């Protein structure tokens, strides 16, 4: 039990000391800050008493898409209801205070949200799993639309301070580049397990100049030059994924990757030496998971530390590294496997380049000892054709490599990484991704959570999601399904209110909420969704009395600043929205909304309210997906391809409770060389009409040529990719037929709700708790 008077006194003291205000005169923002600081004081005692001399896992990731910390921490710490009561006694509303928190600008897509879910699961399962990354001053960007175009502005998430982080000045380290040295300042965030004894740590590094101010330059009145070193150093932790279309941006990306990898390894080495003295057993007490290839430079960096600072031989250092690291691959796309010009490393990290060359030579010797023909060895070279292949470095330098869904792992082993699998089959594993039910059901959908707990007779599902399977027996219980439908209706109203507040757009709460929210990329095929909406619009125009269920199509996505084609797709969808939403003939039958600045907080409204989950990537291109799992957990059937984790979702919940369409991987492989999209463009009813809107003047791209470029990419291709590279035109008719099935199914709302219920009941496999248990047993041995 919390001592209410002590909490109130703590809030009052923090407000007075840090803000110079009282509880009565404080703004909501100041109250949020003081309350969060008060909660940190409660957490600190338990946090600082965590064991340090045990075997632990460090999760190295360029991003951690954490979402808001306030409510999640209170829920996991078990004090949410008590804090709510304290605030009510002070005539304060906990929801209003929570809304003052900005989403931490530490991640963007599924990679970062997966990392956040994994940290939650690690702490909940009492596994010492800590995160390491960068404390970006600004997130990727804040997105807004201007005439339908994506515009970007700084995501200044630290503007109102960050009460959930503690600066550890005494544990700063130096990170050395060839041209300058920076200080890495650690900031620690508590990762609180749900109803557990564990509080793990997310340590994020901020880059500072060793000499932040050149007094001589300032005294000579060269004011900008006086700050030059400070600016250059702090750029390293300035922005998540800086634009790298130019050489300067590429250099900055490499600096970022080395910066957090080096700082994190120095931190781990120091702590290990304090506890154990020798580094001979470093790998026995430290397992490091590389979340994709962004931290791959950690492998040569650990070897550098062991050789140059601890006097190990290269052979012994490599042996320790190969026992320490494991690598998670997140893509089957060859173009997405990270490579850097070797000259970049030679220029700013010459010693690291030397060590990478040594690793490469060691690999060649090992392959020869395995009897591999010399002519085939070049397939494995880490440094080849003037490039450093970071995925190859990660594979050779790691004990295990895993994919993130069964199909993805099988494709890695049979296609992109087949030659590696043939040599090192013992290294490869599958670890299907998962999501934390604490964030994505307990917090996001308390109404549904309460019903589930009531029906199951306990809240064990919060830590054991497989318990949801027992919900299947209620699928034919009309009273239960009715209650579920009412909850879904309530969540739809909450989303409608939030969209009106954020976008100024009213949506029909009685329409089917059809949602596609994810990073904007061609292979995710938001364009296929857009073409279907436009086709449906033209059918309504031809027959205004057409009998279809009312539907609201909701998009949410950011395109990388330098990804022009993705930006063109956003503009196209926004133009379709403008056309559809302003046409009286449509008469409310369909509506299109592209929400701006999609983030975790928006997701917490969208996932519980959705009634159809759009997972329509080209088969074989989506590694796993985790949005599909969040939709499933909240009762939205999937319309999707046999791709990523969709396959496993359908296996669990049944194909009858989802809507599957499109070509499978095997079919696409067969037609890859002979595929002609014009065949579909000309013959599929209605398809030419919607594709031609890109060039016939229906929409305007402001003279940028972006729409014509999209059109050409579909029908003629370019020298770097074939026409219709992601088979949008091929899958269009199959997708349209699946959407007709959705429309037909939704006419019987109760039967549709039963499909939704069966998805919830079979979502147990997709908890990140299950994933982390598998990592712990099979990879980390924790």
Alpha-helical segments (H) within 386-445: 390-396, 406-414, 418-423, 437
Single out the residue of 107, 202, 102 nearest to residue 156, CA to CA: 102
The CA-to-CA distance between both ends of the chain, in Å, stands at 33
Q: Does the annotation mark 755 as catalytic? A: no
Secondary structure percentages of the chain, helix, strand, coil, to 5: 55, 15, 35
* Cα distance between residue 775 and residue 772, in whole Å: 5
Of the candidates 524, 571, 591, 730, the residue annotated as catalytic is: 524
Place of tokens 């490091």: 288
> Which residues, listed in sequence order, are joined to residue 209 by a DSSP beta bridge?
182
Q: Is 330 one of the catalytic residues?
A: yes
Residue matched to tokens 């299109």: 592
Residue among 391, 380, 395 at smallest CA distance from 426: 395
Whole-number Cα distances in Å, 690 to 64, 591, 704: 39, 17, 20
d(CA 139, CA 157): 7
User: Is position 754 annotated as part of the catalytic site?
Assistant: no
> How many of the other CB atoms lie within 10 Å of CB of 209?
20
- Report residue 752 as tokens: 């549709």
Three state DSSP letters for 180-213:
CEEEEEEEEEEEECCCCCCEEEEEEEEEEECCCC
| Catalytic residue chosen out of the listed positions 255, 389, 519, 770 | 519
Q: How far apart are CA 109 and CA 566, in angstroms?
A: 15
Task: Based on the residue annotation, tell me whether 519 is a catalytic residue of this protein.
Answer: yes
Residue 428 bridge partners (DSSP)? 401
Sign of CA dihedral 298, 299, 303, 306: positive
- Per the annotation, the verdict on 626 as an active-site residue is yes
Angle between helices 478-503 and 749-761 (to 10 degrees): 90
Distance between CA atoms of residues 68 and 76, nearest Å: 13
User: What residues have CB less than 8 Å from 440, skipping those under 6 apart?
Assistant: 604, 607, 630, 633, 634
Which of 289, 316, 92, 49 lies closest to 190, judged by CA? 49
Q: Is 457 left (phi over 0), alpha (psi -120 to 50) or beta?
A: left
Quickly tell me which residue has 């002519």 as its tokens.
375
b/e for 57-66, b at 16 or more Cβ within 10 A?
bbbbbbbbbb
Supply the DSSP symbol for 18.
Answer: I
Q: For this structure, is 518 an active site residue? A: yes
> Which residue out of 68, 567, 630, 765 is catalytically annotated?
630
Instruction: Return d(Cα 488, Cα 15) in angstroms, integer.
Output: 40
d(CA 763, CA 632): 6
Q: Alpha-carbon distance 72 to 80, whole Å?
A: 9
3-state secondary structure of 134: strand
Candidates 198, 324, 552, 626; catalytic one: 626
Q: Identify the burial level of 265 via C-beta atoms within 10 angstroms of its C-beta, where 0-12 means exposed, 13-18 middle and 19 or more buried.
A: buried
Catalytic residue among 330, 491, 492, 589: 330
Look-up of token digits 């319309």: 639
3-state secondary structure of 387: strand
Burial of 159 (0-12, 13-18, 19+ CB in 10 A): exposed
Short-list 635, 538, 528, 659, CA closest to 590: 538
Cα three-residue angle 605-611-612, rounded to 5 degrees: 110
Q: 395: closest CA among 282, 292, 280?
A: 292
Active-site entry in 389, 408, 463, 518: 518
Which residues are tagged catalytic? 330, 518-519, 524, 626, 630
């Amino acid at each position: 039990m919390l001592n209410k008077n002590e909490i109130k006194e703590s809030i009052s003291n923090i407000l007075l000391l840090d803000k110079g205000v009282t509880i009565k005169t404080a703004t909501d923002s100041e109250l949020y800050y003081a309350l969060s600081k008060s909660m940190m004081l409660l957490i600190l005692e338990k946090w600082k008493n965590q064991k340090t001399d045990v075997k632990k896992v460090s999760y190295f990731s360029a991003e951690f898409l954490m979402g808001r910390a306030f409510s999640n921490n209170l829920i996991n710490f078990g004090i949410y209801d008590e804090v709510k009561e304290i605030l009510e006694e002070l005539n304060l509303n906990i929801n209003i205070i929570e809304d003052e928190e900005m989403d931490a600008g530490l991640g963007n897509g599924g990679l970062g949200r997966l990392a956040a879910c994994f940290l939650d699961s690690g702490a909940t399962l009492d596994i010492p799993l800590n995160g390491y990354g960068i404390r970006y001053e600004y997130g990727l960007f804040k997105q807004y639309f201007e005439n339908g175009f994506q515009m970007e502005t700084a995501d200044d998430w630290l503007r109102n301070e960050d009460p959930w982080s503690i600066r550890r000045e005494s544990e700063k380290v130096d990170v050395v580049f060839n041209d300058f040295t920076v200080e890495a300042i650690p900031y620690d965030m508590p990762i609180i397990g749900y109803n557990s004894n564990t509080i793990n740590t997310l340590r994020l590094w901020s880059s500072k100049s060793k000499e932040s101010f050149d007094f001589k330059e300032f005294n000579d009145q060269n004011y900008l030059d006086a700050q030059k070193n400070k600016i250059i150093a702090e750029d390293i932790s300035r922005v998540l994924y800086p634009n790298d279309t130019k050489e300067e941006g590429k250099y900055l990306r490499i600096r970022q990757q080395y910066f957090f990898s080096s700082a994190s390894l120095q931190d781990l080495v120091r702590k290990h030496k304090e506890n154990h003295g020798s580094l001979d057993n470093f790998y026995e007490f430290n397992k490091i998971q590389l979340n994709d290839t962004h931290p791959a430079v950690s492998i040569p960096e650990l070897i550098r530390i062991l050789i140059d600072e601890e006097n190990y031989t290269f052979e012994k250092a490599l042996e320790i590294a190969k026992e320490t690291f494991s690598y998670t691959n997140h893509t089957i796309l060859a173009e997405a496997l990270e490579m850097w010009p070797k000259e970049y490393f030679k220029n700013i990290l010459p010693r690291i380049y030397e060590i990478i060359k040594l690793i490469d030579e060691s690999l060649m010797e090992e392959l020869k000892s395995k009897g591999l023909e010399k002519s085939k060895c070049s397939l494995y070279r880490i440094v080849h054709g003037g490039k450093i292949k970071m995925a190859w470095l990660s594979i050779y330098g790691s004990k295990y490599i895993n994919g993130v869904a069964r199909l993805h792992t099988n494709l890695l082993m049979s296609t992109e990484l087949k030659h590696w699998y043939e040599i090192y089959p013992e290294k490869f594993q599958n670890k299907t991704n998962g999501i934390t039910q604490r964030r994505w059901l307990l917090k996001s959908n308390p109404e549904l959570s309460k019903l589930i707990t009531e029906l199951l007779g306990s809240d064990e599902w919060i830590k054991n999601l497989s318990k949801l399977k027992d919900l299947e027996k209620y699928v034919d219980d009309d009273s239960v399904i009715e209650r579920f439908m009412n909850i879904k209706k309530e969540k739809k109203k909450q989303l409608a209110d939030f969209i009106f507040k954020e976008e100024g757009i009213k949506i029909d709460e009685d329409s089917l909420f059809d949602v596609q929210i994810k990073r904007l990329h061609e292979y995710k095929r938001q364009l296929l969704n857009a073409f279907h909406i436009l086709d449906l619009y033209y059918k309504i125009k031809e027959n205004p009395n057409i009998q279809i269920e009312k539907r609201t199509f909701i998009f949410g996505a950011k395109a990388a600043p330098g990804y022009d084609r993705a930006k063109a797709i956003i503009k196209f969808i926004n133009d379709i929205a403008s056309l559809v939403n302003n046409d009286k003939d449509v008469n409310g039958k369909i509506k299109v909304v592209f929400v701006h600045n999609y983030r975790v907080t928006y997701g917490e409204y969208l996932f519980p309210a959705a009634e159809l989950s759009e997972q329509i990537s080209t088969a074989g291109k989506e590694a796993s997906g985790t949005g599909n799992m969040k939709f499933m957990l909240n009762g939205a059937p999937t319309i999707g391809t046999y791709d990523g984790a969709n396959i496993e979702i359908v296996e669990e919940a049944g194909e009858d409770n989802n809507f599957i369409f499109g070509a499978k991987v095997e079919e696409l492989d067969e037609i890859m060389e002979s595929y002609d999209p014009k065949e579909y463009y000309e013959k599929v009813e209605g398809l030419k009409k919607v594709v031609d809107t890109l060039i016939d003047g229906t929409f305007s791209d402001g003279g940028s040529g972006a729409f014509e470029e999209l059109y050409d990419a579909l029908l003629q291709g370019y020298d770097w990719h074939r026409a219709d590279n992601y088979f949008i035109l091929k899958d269009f008719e199959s997708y349209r037929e699946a959407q007709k099935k959705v429309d037909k199914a939704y006419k019987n709302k109760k039967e549709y709700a039963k499909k939704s219920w069966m998805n919830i009941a079979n979502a147990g496999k997709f908890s990140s708790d299950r994933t982390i248990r598998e990592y712990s047993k099979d990879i980390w041995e924790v």
